[in-house]
Amino acid sequence: AQSVTQLDSQVPVFEEAPVELRCNYSSSVSVYLFWYVQYPNQGLQLLLKYLSGSTLVKGINGFEAEFNKSQTSFHLRKPSVHISDTAEYFCAVSDVGTSGTYKYIFGTGTRLKVLA
Protein backbone atom coordinates (compact mmCIF):
# COMPACT_ATOMS: atom_id res chain seq x y z
CA ALA A 1 0.00 0.00 0.00
CA GLN A 2 1.03 3.54 -0.61
CA SER A 3 2.12 5.92 2.12
CA VAL A 4 2.84 9.65 2.30
CA THR A 5 5.23 11.52 4.59
CA GLN A 6 5.08 15.24 5.16
CA LEU A 7 8.33 16.09 6.83
CA ASP A 8 7.36 19.38 8.45
CA SER A 9 4.40 19.72 10.78
CA GLN A 10 4.68 23.51 10.86
CA VAL A 11 6.36 26.04 8.59
CA PRO A 12 6.49 29.71 9.59
CA VAL A 13 7.47 32.13 6.84
CA PHE A 14 7.37 35.88 6.40
CA GLU A 15 5.02 37.49 3.91
CA GLU A 16 6.41 37.77 0.36
CA ALA A 17 9.10 35.17 1.10
CA PRO A 18 9.28 31.88 -0.84
CA VAL A 19 8.14 28.63 0.73
CA GLU A 20 8.55 24.91 0.11
CA LEU A 21 6.41 22.26 1.76
CA ARG A 22 7.91 18.80 1.53
CA CYS A 23 6.18 15.56 0.64
CA ASN A 24 7.60 12.09 0.05
CA TYR A 25 5.65 9.03 -1.04
CA SER A 26 6.39 5.33 -1.05
CA SER A 27 7.60 3.91 -4.31
CA SER A 28 5.17 2.44 -6.80
CA VAL A 29 5.04 1.55 -10.48
CA SER A 30 2.58 4.33 -11.21
CA VAL A 31 1.62 7.10 -8.88
CA TYR A 32 -0.87 9.92 -8.86
CA LEU A 33 -0.22 12.80 -6.47
CA PHE A 34 -2.23 15.70 -5.10
CA TRP A 35 -1.89 18.73 -2.87
CA TYR A 36 -4.90 20.01 -0.96
CA VAL A 37 -5.35 23.11 1.19
CA GLN A 38 -7.64 23.33 4.18
CA TYR A 39 -8.56 26.68 5.69
CA PRO A 40 -9.82 26.77 9.30
CA ASN A 41 -13.17 25.07 9.74
CA GLN A 42 -13.43 24.22 6.06
CA GLY A 43 -13.13 21.17 3.82
CA LEU A 44 -10.38 20.32 1.36
CA GLN A 45 -9.66 22.35 -1.75
CA LEU A 46 -7.55 20.90 -4.54
CA LEU A 47 -4.43 22.99 -5.23
CA LEU A 48 -2.87 20.85 -7.94
CA LYS A 49 -2.45 17.30 -9.16
CA TYR A 50 0.08 15.14 -10.97
CA LEU A 51 -1.38 12.38 -13.10
CA SER A 52 1.17 12.12 -15.92
CA GLY A 53 3.22 14.24 -18.31
CA SER A 54 5.29 17.23 -17.25
CA THR A 55 6.91 16.85 -13.87
CA LEU A 56 6.34 20.52 -13.04
CA VAL A 57 2.72 21.04 -12.16
CA LYS A 58 1.12 24.44 -11.75
CA GLY A 59 -1.91 24.92 -9.56
CA ILE A 60 -4.15 27.61 -8.21
CA ASN A 61 -3.13 30.63 -6.14
CA GLY A 62 0.40 30.65 -7.58
CA PHE A 63 1.43 27.27 -6.19
CA GLU A 64 3.44 24.71 -8.12
CA ALA A 65 4.91 21.29 -7.39
CA GLU A 66 7.57 19.12 -8.94
CA PHE A 67 7.25 15.37 -9.29
CA ASN A 68 10.62 13.71 -8.71
CA LYS A 69 10.43 9.97 -9.33
CA SER A 70 14.03 9.20 -8.35
CA GLN A 71 13.60 10.88 -4.97
CA THR A 72 9.94 9.87 -4.61
CA SER A 73 9.07 13.44 -3.75
CA PHE A 74 6.35 15.91 -4.67
CA HIS A 75 7.29 19.18 -2.94
CA LEU A 76 4.97 22.17 -3.06
CA ARG A 77 6.41 25.64 -3.69
CA LYS A 78 5.30 29.23 -3.92
CA PRO A 79 7.73 32.05 -4.80
CA SER A 80 6.00 34.71 -2.68
CA VAL A 81 3.44 33.95 0.01
CA HIS A 82 0.61 36.09 1.31
CA ILE A 83 -1.06 36.26 4.69
CA SER A 84 -4.07 34.58 3.10
CA ASP A 85 -1.99 31.45 2.39
CA THR A 86 -2.01 30.63 6.10
CA ALA A 87 -3.68 27.21 6.21
CA GLU A 88 -3.09 23.46 6.54
CA TYR A 89 -1.66 21.75 3.47
CA PHE A 90 -2.07 18.04 2.76
CA CYS A 91 -0.20 15.89 0.30
CA ALA A 92 -2.07 12.82 -0.95
CA VAL A 93 -1.40 9.82 -3.16
CA SER A 94 -3.99 7.78 -4.96
CA ASP A 95 -3.93 4.12 -3.97
CA VAL A 96 -5.48 1.36 -6.04
CA GLY A 97 -7.38 -1.34 -4.18
CA THR A 98 -7.67 -5.00 -5.11
CA SER A 99 -10.90 -4.30 -6.96
CA GLY A 100 -9.22 -1.65 -9.08
CA THR A 101 -10.88 1.21 -7.22
CA TYR A 102 -9.06 4.31 -6.01
CA LYS A 103 -8.82 5.92 -2.61
CA TYR A 104 -6.61 8.71 -1.30
CA ILE A 105 -3.84 8.26 1.25
CA PHE A 106 -3.10 11.55 2.99
CA GLY A 107 -0.08 12.81 4.83
CA THR A 108 -0.40 14.26 8.32
CA GLY A 109 -0.38 17.81 7.01
CA THR A 110 1.85 20.89 7.22
CA ARG A 111 0.59 24.02 8.89
CA LEU A 112 1.82 27.05 6.95
CA LYS A 113 1.81 30.24 8.99
CA VAL A 114 2.59 33.42 7.10
CA LEU A 115 3.91 36.20 9.30
CA ALA A 116 3.50 39.91 8.62
Partner 1 sequence: DAGVTQSPTHLIKTRGQQVTLRCSPKSGHDTVSWYQQALGQGPQFIFQYYEEEERQRGNFPDRFSGHQFPNYSSELNVNALLLGDSALYLCASSLGGPQLLQYFGAGTRLSVL
Binding interface with partner 1 (CB under 8 A): 4, 32, 36, 41-46, 49, 51, 90, 92, 94, 97, 99, 101-109
CB of 34 to partner 1, least distance (A): 9
Residue closer to partner 1 (CB basis): 17 or 46: 46
Cα separation, 25 vs 2, whole angstroms: 7
Residue closer to partner 1 (CB basis): 98 or 116: 98
Distances (CA, A) of 51 to 56, 93, 110: 11, 10, 22
CB of 94 to partner 1, least distance (A): 5
Distances (CA, A) of 57 to 33, 40, 46, 66, 84: 10, 26, 13, 6, 22
